[in-house]
Amino acid sequence: MTAPAILVTNDDGIHSEGLRALAEALAHVGEVTVVAPDRERSAAGHALTLHRPLRASEVAPGWHRVDGTPTDCVTLAVMGMLKRRPHLVVAGINLGANLGDDVTYSGTVSAAMEGILLGIPAFAISQGGGAPFEFTVAADFARRLAGLLLEQGLPPDTLLNVNVPAGPPESIRGVALTRQGRRAYRESIVEKLDPRGKTYYWIGGSEPEWECLGDSDYDAVTAGKISVTPLRLDLTHYEVLTTLRGWEERLRDP
């Protein structure tokens, strides 16, 4: 039996230690091909490059770098570069958590979304805390989760967003299936003057704060648990859709 094909990417760039740790861990589960951005593309969201050509080069056997976004990498890999279609797409290990509303900015989560759009099971995995990062827990979890997904699959339109709390293996308090958390938005724009007297702005000056929902990704990671959140691409708000049906009449042309 041939080993399952696993596509690995990230948004921190091909030189990230997190990417290397992930590729090494998943090599125990399948045949890994890395296709990753040539530089950091964190917070690139689900951006796709349409207005210039993309270049790719193989920097080591099975390691390809692309001068595009994480979504470009998954698209190019699946639609053109890879000899066989991957059975699984895994993005990470991101340097820093991807919790709550941050998933919409995250290039890591978006890469997994692209896998789902192409019909391939996918998950994103992020390591909480700050530098120096330690990937033992996340890498081991990625290996086990990949094995499970290759065996069980995922329902269509579903990706998993995994966040691993900082700390050594013995500090981890287990695994929690969670829902997407919510950021409590505070002032986070820094406004300053540049050396020529012109105003500039810097987004995200202060540490993010979170609402305590009790069962969110944020709550789990804060409690020392590995958080696994199933996300869907269908953003339709079904309850509100039903409520707003009554507007159809009023919005129609007179």
Q: Which residues bind Mn ion (CB under 5 A)?
A: 11-12, 42, 94
Q: Distances from the Cα of 43 to the Cαs of 27, 91, 94, in angstroms?
A: 27, 14, 11
- Would you say 33 or 42 has its CB closer to Mn ion? 42
- Would you say 30 or 37 has its CB closer to Mn ion? 37
- Would you say 147 or 208 has its CB closer to Mn ion? 208
CB of 248 to Mn ion, least distance (A): 42
Is the sign of the CA dihedral 161, 86, 21, 91 positive or negative? negative
CB of 218 to Mn ion, least distance (A): 18
- Would you say 102 or 219 has its CB closer to Mn ion? 102
CB of 2 to Mn ion, least distance (A): 32
The sheet with strand 175-177 has its strands ordered as: 56-60, 63-66, 31-37, 5-9, 88-95, 122-127, 158-164, 226-232, 175-177
Residue nearest to Mn ion (CB): 42
d(CA 193, CA 206): 18
CB of 142 to Mn ion, least distance (A): 16
CA dihedral 134, 135, 137, 138 (to 10 degrees): 140
